[in-house]
Amino acid sequence: MLDQFSLAVVALSRLLGWAYTLAWSLSFYPQVIHNHTARSTRGLSSDFVALNAVGHASYLAYNTLLLYYAPVRKAYRRTHDGRDNVVQFNDFAFSLHATLLALITLAQYLRYRKANQQISRAVKLALAAALTAAVFLAGAKRLKLVNWLHIVNAFSTLKLAVTLTKYIPQLKLNRDRKSTQGFAIQNVLLDLAGGSLSLAQLVLDAVVLQGSWSGVAGDWGKLGLGLLSCAFDAALMYQHYCLYPQHQSDPQQPSESDPLLPSSSR
């Protein structure tokens, strides 16, 4: 039976969990609303949109397996001294909602994109490589060459790889255009809040409740996601508030496909 302190920590953990879920979930809406009202995705990187959808889908798979699939939970306990993983329902709820909103943003991009807005060859090749790896892992699991934790870690690695790279095209596009117009800064502010709260919950669950830092390392998908998100959010905020203040005018700027040519409509 839990004592008063443990009950208070559990309650605080749940509060932090739902607070970060709310912040991260709300962070998708400013961009979706802007795209809809402007009938445009100009200022939003094509590569960012595609990578974002793939990344959140992989994170959904990661959380679903760790939270609901018994063989994965059992395998995790065997490799972590009998401890359960610290993925909670709010992690699953966030990843499900994030995947849906990322797909809506992708649909908006496909509808509103201009002729010079194209996903780069490098990203296309990377996504093809990820699909090939997924097929290979499925075959290897069937032949019992890998276990379920390998599959889970692959989803986590893909999500972290996407998080590590998806903001780079957006940062580059902002730099080339000398503007952040078209990219909703509210997304970044809410994302930063969500990342900070997510890390706080992870440390609280692992260190205070379980008494071990292994829970932090064991949920390195959540750990890496929080750290990387906060780092890139800081870079985007620096561009928006320091390098390219929003009050500046936004004349025709270089496009994604050819930085020497102005944007053109289809």
C-alpha angle with apex 140: 136 to 146, nearest 5 degrees? 120
- In this structure, are 196 and 217 located in the same domain? yes
pLDDT, tens only, 34-84: 999 999 999 999 999 999 999 999 999 999 999 999 999 999 998 888 888
Confidence at residue 264, expressed as pLDDT on a 0 to 100 scale: 40
User: Which residues does residue 254 pair with via DSSP β-bridges, in sequence order?
Assistant: 262
Do residue 53 and residue 161 come from a single domain? yes
210 lies in the same domain as 125: no
Q: What is the pTM of this model?
A: 0.81
What is the predicted pLDDT for the residue at 88?
84
Helix (H, G, I), strand (E, B) or coil at 69: coil
At which residue do the structure tokens 């289809």 appear? 266
Mean pLDDT of the chain: 87
Residue 239 has pLDDT above 80, yes or no: yes
CB within 8 A of 136, min separation 6: which ones? none
Q: Are 176 and 259 in contact (CB under 8 A)?
A: yes
The answer, yes or no, to whether residue 207 has pLDDT greater than 60, is yes
State the Cα–Cα distance between residues 32 and 104, nearest whole angstrom: 8
Mean pLDDT of 20-26: 90
Query: Do 54 and 138 belong to one domain?
Result: yes
Residue of 67, 103, 72 whose CA lies nearest to 87: 67
- From CA 28, how far away is CA 186, in angstroms rounded? 9
pLDDT in tens, 123-146: 999 999 999 999 999 999 999 899
Looking at 124, 155, 177, the residue that finishes a domain is 177
What pLDDT sits at residue 94?
86
Amino acid at 131: L
The pLDDT > 70 percentage for the chain reads: 88
Residue 60 covered by a domain: yes
Tell me the C-alpha to C-alpha distance, in Å, between residue 78 and each of 82, 105, 130, 156, 202: 6, 40, 28, 19, 21
More reliable by pLDDT, 194 or 217? 194
% the chain with pLDDT above 90: 61
CA gap 51, 125 in Å, rounded:
12
Confidence of residue 180 (pLDDT cuts 50, 70, 90): very high
Residue 168 confidence (pLDDT) above 60:
yes
Q: Would you list the DSSP string of 88-106? A: -HHHHHHHHHHHHHHHHHH
SS3 39: coil
Q: Could you say which DSSP state residue 247 is in?
A: T
User: In this structure, what DSSP letter does residue 61 have?
Assistant: H
- For every residue of 156-203, DSSP letters joined together read HHHHHHHHHHHHHHHHHHHHHHT--TTS-HHHHHHHHHHHHHHHHHHH
Instruction: Look at the chain and report how many structural domains it folds into.
Output: 2
Range(s) of the domain holding residue 188: 1-40+182-244
- Per-residue model confidence (pLDDT) at position 254: 54
pLDDT band at 215 (very low <50, low <70, confident <90, very high): low
pLDDT at 255: 56
Q: In this model, does residue 33 exceed pLDDT 70?
A: yes
Tell me: do 35 and 49 sit in the same domain.
Answer: no
Domain boundary among 177, 202, 225: 177
